[in-house]
Amino acid sequence: MSDGITRKEMIEMNSTASAIKGVLDNLRMQLQMLDDEIKADEKSKAEFERHLNVLENRKSDILSRINANKEWSKNYDADIGPFANKYKEMTADIAAIYDRAKAGHTRGIKLLEKDFGYHPSFKRPQDTFTAIPFRPK
């Protein structure tokens, strides 16, 4: 070698250049992998943000419904309470009316037994009165 480089030095330079090329190729491959991972992470981040936005909208809707329900419940006693109390009074009145009707029915059956010979458990062939036995509960 005329340039002052010996064969041994040339082999060492080739070996070093090959090693440097291998390192560079390895670094390029790692850089490409990192770029791919970054792209995948950005895609995942965009999907996460989209899903987060959906959840935030849902949260906002739920909070507004909770507030509306709180307002409704504040006014419930004033708006619905009197009707609920009136319902209780009316059902108590209906129970009293029905109890009077049952007592009247019992008196009516006794009158039929006394004046017409009616027997509530069975009908005899000579009976002219046709009724189905019924006792209110």
* pLDDT reported for residue 132: 67
Residue pair 120/129 in contact (Cβ under 8 Å)? The answer is no
Using CA atoms, how far apart are residues 40 and 101, in angstroms rounded to an integer?
81
Angle, helices 7-79/81-116, rounded to nearest 10 degrees: 50
Using CA atoms, how far apart are residues 115 and 90, in angstroms rounded to an integer?
37
* pLDDT reported for residue 30: 96
Using CA atoms, how far apart are residues 83 and 132, in angstroms rounded to an integer?
39
Residue pair 95/103 in contact (Cβ under 8 Å)? The answer is no
pTM of the predicted model as reported, rounded to 2 decimal places: 0.42
Task: Give yes or no for residue 1 having a pLDDT over 60.
Answer: no
Using CA atoms, how far apart are residues 43 and 46, in angstroms rounded to an integer?
5
Stretch 34-54: mean pLDDT: 96
Task: Give yes or no for residue 7 having a pLDDT over 50.
Answer: yes
Residues counted in the chain: 137
Query: DSSP state, 121?
Result: S
Task: Pick from 4-8, 26-30, 68-72, 125-129 the range whose average pLDDT is largest.
Answer: 26-30
Question: Six-digit token pair at 33?
Answer: 């992998």
pLDDT tier, 109 (very low <50, low <70, confident <90, very high otherwise): confident
Task: Give yes or no for residue 5 having a pLDDT over 90.
Answer: no
Residue pair 131/119 in contact (Cβ under 8 Å)? The answer is no
Residue pair 113/119 in contact (Cβ under 8 Å)? The answer is yes
Between the alpha carbon of residue 60 and those of residues 57, 69, 73, 108, the distances in Å are 5, 14, 20, 66
Stretch 77-106: mean pLDDT: 83
